[in-house]
Amino acid sequence: MFPMGFRFPTRRLLIRRMVPDDWQDLYEYLSDPAVVRYEPYGVYTRADAMLEAANRANCASFLAVCLLTSGKMIGNLYVARLDEGYYELGYVFNRRYHGKNYAYESCRAILDCLFTQMGAVKVVAHCDARNLRSMHLMERLGMTEEERYMGKDFTGESSAALSCQYGIDCRRGDKISIFRPPH
Tens-level pLDDT at each residue, the chain (183 residues): 898 999 999 999 999 999 999 999 999 999 999 999 999 899 999 999 999 999 999 999 999 999 999 999 999 999 999 999 999 999 999 999 999 999 999 999 999 999 999 999 999 999 999 999 999 999 999 999 999 999 888 787 888 899 999 999 987 544 444 433 333
Residues 6+ apart with CB under 8 A from 69: 12
Backbone angles phi, psi at 129, to 5 degrees: -65, -15
Domain 7-175 class in CATH: alpha beta
pLDDT of residue 172: 55
Round to whole Å and give the CA distance between 140 and 86: 20
Residue 9 and residue 109 in contact, taking contact as beta carbons nearer than 8 Å? no
Dihedral over Cα of 144, 79, 135, 166: its sign: positive
pLDDT of residue 181: 37
Could you tell me the residue ranges of all domains in the chain? 7-175
Strand partners, 64: 16, 76
Residues 6+ apart with CB under 8 A from 136: none
